[in-house]
Structure 1
Amino acid sequence: MLCFYKTIENSLKRVDTVSAGCWVNVVSPTAEEIRFLTEELHLDPSFVSAALDEEESSRVEVEDEQTLIIIDTPIAVTEGENTLVYTTMPVGIIVTPDYVVTVCLNETSAVTDIANGFIRNLQTAMKTRFLLTLLLRVAQSFLIRLKHINKMTAQMETELHHSMQNKQLVQMMGLQKSLIYFSASLKANEITLEKIFRGRVIKLYEEDQDLLEDVLIEFKQAVDMSSTYSRILKETMDAFSSIISNNLNQVMKTLTIVTILLEIPNMIFSFYGMNTGDLSWFMPYTWFSLILSITIVGVVGFIFWKKKF
């Protein structure tokens, strides 16, 4: 999908043709659309292919008058039986003298929010400000997902207090995996931002200083939150692992005690069964064995109870 946007009268409008000062949004492009980008807009083919590589890491590259900025953005995927996992996907931002082009394999919330006009006073002709606004939106999308992960962790913890089921444990493992993905991507994004904010990749303007500081603060907050939530979730998983192990020990202890108590009458009746010819209810051996079994079971049970077994 190939869409063109331009700020007209302080409002972001979708236009039919590309022109200087517009924003070109490309999502999962076809071969014909890729040809348009490389031949009509004269974008570097290696930049386009890198932006469409889902394994591409966050980085900055400059070639002639074009600048490629690849930034990781969060996306949600479902694994197994309705297990929600957050991962990241690269978005390529190609800045040219005339346009800003965003290229990605799938729709992302940061780009979609801008395209839907959720950002006020967005100027597509101001390429630096547009880039900073997009980066700010990416940082905010990380924060939103991190808060959602924290809420889901609290919910799973509450459910595990009432019922130990594999479903909750698998979901918590998925959230732990999500935080690992986020931590790796945020660290790579932070390195990319440091290169951008040195002013050598794109030209920075003094009037964008506040926006620049907001982007830095949001990303640093996302990095801190990711690290904190990861530690909390790890400690929670370790705690529940200990609880599950303790519950298993309690069950095994109970079964062992029951087995011991049941084995006592079995041993007594087996002994008399092998050494007497007639073990019917009318024989004194039968009543003696029964009373002896009940007595020994009672004594052993009392000892277990006294020792709080």
Structure 2
Amino acid sequence: MIECFKTRENGGIERIEQPEAGCWVNVVAPTADERAWLEGELGVLTEFVSSALDEEETSRVDFDEDVNQTFVIVDYPIEPGEDGTEGARQYDTMPLSMVFMPQKGMFVTISLFENVVVRDLASGRIRGVDTRFRTRFLLQLLLRVSQLYLLYLRRIDRLSSRTEERLHASVRNEELIQMLNLEKSLVYFSTSLKSDEVTLNKIRQGRIIPLYEDDQDLLEDVLVEVRQAIEMANIYSNTLSGTMDAFASIISNNLNIVMKVLSVITIVMAIPNIIFGFYGMNVSLPFDSLPFMNTWVFPTVLAVAACLVAAWIFKRKGMWH
């Protein structure tokens, strides 16, 4: 899908049919024909398009002197299922690429999936967006990405707290898998945020992308948001890792207690089998000639064994907690 947008004179963003100077071209999951148009008609470098459509591409800044194009790629966060994966249960990150084309006065974004960042910019939810100022447009986009990280990190924290409450009541595989998915999400976020921070620091130097005074202030805001997100991701990750370790110890301790109970019950219940085994032999044993032995020995032994088990369980009444 290819869409073109341009800022109107009154400040709003409108969709236009054909790309022109000062516009923003948004490309999402391009087909073979759209990719050919992007490279042939619009003039975006083939290697930039290939990198933009690579799901595993890391965040970086690149510049090609021959065609005077600047390529910026960052990772943005996505919610479970936002990438079209059925049954996804964890947050993840995806690459979002931006290409500066000063020779045509255009700004191009390329992504593999529809995302919140692009939708917010295209719908005009972010104030002060002007497609004619490419550097500021880039920084506003990066600011929205960093804010989205903070939003999703808070959601992960709330979700982990609710899952932990359910784990206190019942340790089930479903809650443990949810906690594991959240821990993996935080690892993905932390790794991507650190890569994005490196890219922002390169932009901050101003050698590849020229920065004006207002752009410097906006870039500082973006860096503050990204560093805050990195700190939050590290804190949440350490907390969640400690919680998982604590619940693993609790599960192991509960298993040891259950095995201890079963072992004691097994030993006590073995006593009747030993006695009955003796009296089942074809040898003379004490008291086997007494008339009540054949009638009462079986229930008597079972009753004694049951009393021993019950006494031990009540003595250890706190063992199940």
Q: Structure 2 length normalisation: TM-score? A: 0.88
1:70 matched to 2:73? The reply is yes
- Matches of 2:42 and 2:198 in 1, distance apart? 29
Alpha-carbon shift at residue 194 of structure 1 (Å): 0.7
In 2, the alpha carbon distance for the partners of 1:33 and 1:80 equals: 23
Secondary structure, counterpart of 2:78 in structure 1: strand
* Distance (whole Å) between structure 2 residues aligned to residue 124 and residue 296 of structure 1: 85
Q: In the alignment, does 2:115 pair up with 1:111?
A: no
- 8 Å CA contact 2:53, 2:112 repeated in 1: yes
The change in CA–CA distance for 1:125 and 1:301 in structure 2 (over 3 A counts) is same
1:150 to 136, 150, 157: 157
Matches of residues 178-193 of structure 1 in structure 2 within 5 Å? 178-193=185-200
After superposition, residues 269-280 of structure 1 pair within 5 angstroms as 269-274=276-281, 275=283
Give distance in 2, aligned partners of 1:120 and 1:247: 55
Q: Give 4+ residue runs of structure 1 displaced > 6 Å after superposition.
A: 277-281
Say if 1:273 and 1:128 are closer, same or farther in 2 by CA, change over 3 A: same
Distance 1:307 1:107, change over 3 A: closer
Note closer, same or farther for the CA distance 1:80–1:58 as it changes in structure 2 (3 Å cut). Answer: closer
Verify the 8 A CA contact 2:26 2:110 in the aligned structure 1.
Answer: yes
Give the equivalent residue in structure 1 for 2:262: 255
8 Å CA contact retained: 2:265, 2:309: no
Q: 1:244 to 1:41 in 2, by over 3 A?
A: same
2:293 to 281, 284, 288: 284
Q: Does the 8 Å contact 1:60/1:69 carry over to 2?
A: yes
Q: Which residue of 1 aligns with 2:21?
A: 20
Cα distance in structure 2, aligned partners of 1:212 and 1:82: 37
SS where residue 188 of structure 1 aligns?
Answer: helix
Q: Is 1:83–1:174's contact at 8 Å kept on the other side of the alignment? A: no
| Residue 96 of structure 1, CA deviation | 1.4
1:303–1:153 Cα change, 3 Å: closer
**1:44, CA displacement in angstroms?**
1.2
Change (3 A) 1:83 1:282: farther
Deviations for 1:66-117, whole angstroms, at most 9, x for unmatched residues?
Answer: 1000101112345999451111111110011111100011112111111111
Distance 1:223 1:85, change over 3 A: same
Residue 290 of structure 1 deviates from its aligned partner by 5.3
* Structure 1 pair 80–303 and aligned structure 2 pair: CA distance change class (3 A): farther
Judge which range, 296-305 or 260-269, deviates more.
Answer: 296-305
The Cα shift of 1:273 comes to: 2.3
How many pairs does the alignment contain? 309
How far residue 296 of structure 1 moved from its aligned partner, in angstroms, is 6.7
State whether residues 74 and 87 of structure 1, in contact with CA within 8 Å, keep that contact through their aligned partners in structure 2: yes
Deviation string 1:172-230 (CA, Å, 9 cap, x unpaired) is: 11111111111111111111111011111111110223312210111001101111111
Question: Relative to structure 1, is the Cα distance of residues 290 and 42 closer, same or farther in structure 2, using a 3 angstrom cutoff?
Answer: closer
Contact 1:51–1:92 (Cα < 8 Å) also in 2? yes
Are residue 132 (structure 1) and residue 133 (structure 2) matched? no
2:209 aligned to which of 202, 208, 214: 202
Partners of 1:172 and 1:107 lie apart in 2 by 27
Which residue of 2 is the match for residue 2 of structure 1? 2
- Corresponding residue of 1:219: 226
Tell me the distance in 2 between the aligned counterparts of 1:67 and 1:219: 22
Q: Secondary structure at the match of 1:92?
A: strand
Question: What CA distance in whole angstroms lies between the structure 2 residues aligned with 1:128 and 1:24?
Answer: 15
- Residues 202 and 83 from structure 1, CA distance in 2 versus in 1: closer, same or farther, beyond 3 angstroms? closer
Aligned-residue CA RMSD in angstroms?
A: 2.6
After the TM superposition, which of the residue ranges 204-213 and 288-297 deviates more from structure 2? 288-297
User: What SS class does the counterpart of residue 24 from structure 1 fall into?
Assistant: strand
Ranges in structure 2 where 5+ consecutive residues have no aligned partner: none
61-70 or 269-278, which deviates more: 269-278
Deviation per CA, 1:228-258, whole angstroms, max 9, x where unpaired? 1110110111111111111111211111121
Task: Rate the CA distance shift 1:189–1:151 in 2: closer, same or farther, 3 A.
Answer: same
TM-score (norm 1): 0.91
| Structure-2 residue corresponding to 1:95 | 100
Change (3 A) 1:282 1:103: same
CA contact (8 A) 1:83 1:171 kept: no
CA 1:297–1:3 in 2, change beyond 3 Å: closer, same or farther? closer
Separation (CA, whole Å) in 1 of partners of 2:229 and 2:240: 16
User: Using a 3 Å threshold, how does the CA distance of structure 1 residues 307 and 18 change in structure 2: closer, same or farther?
Assistant: closer
Aligned twin of 2:181: 174
